[in-house]
Structure 1
C-alpha cells in the first residue's frame, strides 16, 4: 500500500504536531505501507516524522494563506499548472493521499480528478473571502472529509455525513498524547503563574493578556507572573515588538517573553493555569487540550472550537474574545479565590481522557 501525506507547514505548532501524530497513526495501522511525506521545506517537524515516514520530500506547494492571497492570484498563478501536475501524478501513484489541510490548493484541486483517493483533513476556521475560497475548494475536491471540531464543520457549511456522490464526512477531535496530571500547588500565598503558548501574532491574543494584566490594581498585579512562549512565523520583528510592548506597559517584572521550544514540558510544570485568549476563532485549541492533560485549567476565549474543549466553570473558564476587561476580571477572581477552582484540574483531566 502506498500512502502520500501532504502538509503545508514545517514547524512544531499545533497543526504540525497533529499532522505528525496522524502520520504515526497511519504507520501503526498499516505497518508495511510505503508512506511518503510531502513538506514545503526543511524544519523542526522533520525529526518527529522520520520514525514513521518511508521518505520525506520537499517541494513547492500552492498554499492559500490569507496574507499571500493577492500574490497567489497574480504573480504566483504561473506556478499553479506545474503544482497541479505534481499533485495529480503523486495521487495517481498512491492508494490514499492524506491532505493536511484545506489550504493546500494544488492537492485539493487535483483530488477531483481522482475520486475516492483523497482524504482532506480540515482544521481551520477561515473568515471573509478566504472562507468562501476554501469552502468552494472543499466542494470542488469531492474528497472525503475529516473536521477537527463541530465548529470547523459548521464553518464549512455542515456537509452531510454522506452526500449524494457518496463523499463521507466525519468530526474527529485531535488526539493529544499527554503526561500524568501534575498536582495543583496554587493556594493564593504566592503569585499565580499564567502560561500562554502560541505563535506571536494578533490572532493568539498576547496583547489582550498584557492589557488585562496591566489593568489589574497594583496589589493584584504583584500576585501574577506571566510567560509568553512562542515565535512569529518568520518575523523576528514581531517577536521584538512583543518584548518592547511588555516594557512600554510597565510589565517587565511580571511578564517573560520566551522563544518557541519544541517540548513545552517545563513550561506546563511551571504554570498554574494556561491562557488561550484568542481574538479570532480557533478550530479546536490544542494548547487548551494539553493544559487539561497536565492538570492546568485553561482560561480561553469563548470562540470557535475552544468552547467544545473547555467546560466553562468545570474544567476552566470562558471569556469574550478580545475583551481585556473581562479577562482581567476573571484573573482577579482566579488569583483571590483559588478554592473556587480547586476541582478544575481533576475534572479537566477526566475530560481530556474521555474526549481527547
Structure 2
C-alpha cells in the first residue's frame, strides 16, 4: 500500500513538472521617478501545452477605486499596446522572441501614477500560469536648500536648516563640517541627522563651511552652507541712521511735491490772465477811416445842395475837417477833370454861374 501511494505521488510530481510554469518568484521592485523598471516574467511549457500562446500584463493601480487595466498583450503572434492611456508608448516587451519563454517588460520614464501591482498571465492550453510584481516609484531628493535662520553674531541663538524641494519619505539627513577643524561642536551631535541644527550662544569657532546630504532609498542630493559668526553690530547707530535717512527722504519728497504744486498754480494763473478780456478798454481808432468816412458823407450831402449855398458850405466843410487827419489820409492819384457839355449840365439840373475874370495882378476885370 505504501509503495502504491509513493508511485502515485511521483507521477503527480512528474505531471506538475511538465505543466506551464513561470520561473521568477513574486517580488517588490523600487525605482526612482524618471527611471526604467524591468518587470521579469520568464516561463516554461511542457509537451502537452499545444495551444496558441497568449500573454497578458495587467496593472492593479494603487488606488483601489480604479479597476485592473490591461497594459500590453501578445496574441496570435501580434503585440497590442494601446490599452492604457497613462502608459501609452512607455511599455515594451524586452525580448524580440516571446515564444522562447521570456515575457518580461520594461516600463520607461516612471511616474508616480505607475505605482501598483503588475500581473503577468501566460496561457498555452491547457497550461495557465501567472505571477505578480509590486512596483514602487520613489522621488529622489532634489533642490536641497541650506540657510541660516537668525543673526550670525557672537552670543546669539540661531538655526541651520536643510530643506529638500522634493523627495520620497523616509529621508535621512547628514551634516558635515568641510573647512577649518572638521570636528563638529559636541552640542550639535544629537542633531547631526536632523534637518535642523539649533545653535546656542554662538562663538567664532563655529564659523566654516558645512554640507547637508539628504538620502532616501533611490538617491541623494547635497547643499553647502557658509557660516560666519561675527561680533555684534552697533544696533543703536544702525537704527539712528535708518531713522535719519527716512526723515531726509520724507523732506525731499515734501519739497518735490511743494515745487510741483507751486508750478501748477503759476501755470494756471498765466492761462487765466492770458484768456481774460477787459471790457473797459475801447478798441483803437482808425483816423484814416474816420477822415474818409467824414469826407465821403459830406460829398454825398454836397450833391443835394443848390449852387446858391455852395460857397458857404465849402468854407464850412473846410473848417470842419481835421487838418491832421486829412493830411495823413492816403492820397489818391489825381485825375484830369472830366469835361461835360453845357446841354448835359442843364439836363442834370446845374445852374450857370458867372465867375468874374481876374487880371494878372489879381484885380477883377
Larger radius of gyration: 2
Task: Give the structure with the larger strand fraction.
Answer: 2
TM-score, normalized by length of structure 1? Answer: 0.20
TM-score, normalized by length of structure 2? Answer: 0.20
Task: Give the structure with the larger helix fraction.
Answer: 1
